[in-house]
Amino acid sequence: MSNVNPDPGNDAPAFIPLEANPPLMTNLLHKLGVSPALAVHDVYSLTEPELLAFLPRPALALLLVFPVSAAYESQRLSADSLVAEYAGHGAEPVVWWRQTIRNACGMMGLLHAVCNGPAREFIESGSTLDELLQKSIPLDPAQRARLLEQTPALAAAHKDAAQQGATQAPDAHDDVDLHYVCFVKGSDGALYELDGRRKGPIQLGALASDEDVLSEKGLALGPLRFLEGAGGDLRFSAVALAGTLD
């Protein structure tokens, strides 16, 4: 859920905010075309090894869900002012989408999670996700954003999932106070922060071949560093994309 939306105009499409609910997210991904071999799992701690040990490994992506503080927004705007707008397209280490759909940060996080790194191998041929990914890769960021806006199957699947949460779903145009950011390992072995509100994908540093997003280094480069720099009382939750539990 997010109240920190892009500002593309009054006619921009809007999604019902997506609850950070692993079964709901898993069902949504399967409906869009992800193999049943993958699932979304609760991450109960980013600092306690005994709790991380319960998760299937390797973890292919981590979604961090957090209330946005003034300190975070200030840091984000400052960092983005130092970089140019991303113009990548074609075969690159990660596929990144700009968010132009209001309250769609949950869906953006899931797209970034399953369409990058080894997770991409679990997208079933001919599915909604497969077609969306293949169409997106050669496009520039503006064209990719329009493609998301103009994919009815994506909107329909998202709406169905958002209405099945454990709590009452807000209206698509409501302001809500949570935002999603995704951490994935790119095809170049680096850890990336993927957020459709930023100017592009952010490379955070290299990971070894046996290190995933929940490895000690992956956590230090990604969510822990992210949280340390956010400031204030930053409550958060996290879910990970990984194999299904036996």
Quote the longest CA-to-CA distance of the chain.
48
In the predicted structure, residue 108 carries a pLDDT above the cut 50: yes
180 found inside a domain: yes
- The number of beta carbons lying within 10 Å of the beta carbon of residue 231 is 13
Contacts of 150 (CB under 8 A, 6+ apart): none
188 found inside a domain: yes
Helix (H, G, I), strand (E, B) or coil at 64: strand
191 found inside a domain: yes
pLDDT at 235: 66
In the predicted structure, residue 188 carries a pLDDT above the cut 70: yes
71 found inside a domain: yes
Buried b (16+ CB within 10 A) or exposed e, 154-168: bbebbeebbeebeee
Q: Give the integer Cα–Cα distance in Å for 55 and 96.
A: 26
In the predicted structure, residue 167 carries a pLDDT above the cut 70: no
Q: Give the integer Cα–Cα distance in Å for 101 and 14.
A: 5
126 found inside a domain: yes
* Torsion from C-alpha of 57, 63, 65, 71, nearest 10 degrees: 110
Q: What is the total count of domains within the chain?
A: 1
Helix (H, G, I), strand (E, B) or coil at 194: strand
Task: Tell me 123's DSSP state.
Answer: B
Which domain covers residue 111, as residue numbers? 22-243
Residue 133 contacts residue 120 (beta carbons within 8 Å):
yes
Token pair listed for 116:
């990058």
pLDDT at 173: 45
Across all residues in the chain, what is the average pLDDT? 88
- The number of beta carbons lying within 10 Å of the beta carbon of residue 75 is 15
179 is known as an active-site residue: yes
Token pair listed for 196:
């459709």
6 found inside a domain: no
In the predicted structure, residue 192 carries a pLDDT above the cut 90: yes
Indicate which CATH number applies to the domain containing 158.
3.40.532.10
pLDDT at 175: 52
Token pair listed for 191:
């850890």
In the predicted structure, residue 216 carries a pLDDT above the cut 90: yes
114 found inside a domain: yes
Amino acid at 121: E
- How long, in residues, is the chain? 246
For range 16-35, the mean pLDDT: 93
pLDDT at 177: 64
Confidence bin at 172 (pLDDT 50/70/90): very low
Instruction: For 42-97, write each residue's pLDDT tens digit.
Output: 999 999 999 999 999 999 999 999 887 777 788 888 999 999 999 989 889 999 99
Residue 41 contacts residue 55 (beta carbons within 8 Å):
yes
* Torsion from C-alpha of 94, 59, 147, 102, nearest 10 degrees: -120
Catalytic position from the list 41, 105, 112, 115: 105
Catalytic position from the list 112, 115, 179, 182: 179
In the predicted structure, residue 106 carries a pLDDT above the cut 60: yes
182 is known as an active-site residue: no
Q: Give the integer Cα–Cα distance in Å for 134 and 97.
A: 13
10 found inside a domain: no
Residue 6 contacts residue 99 (beta carbons within 8 Å):
yes
Confidence bin at 174 (pLDDT 50/70/90): very low
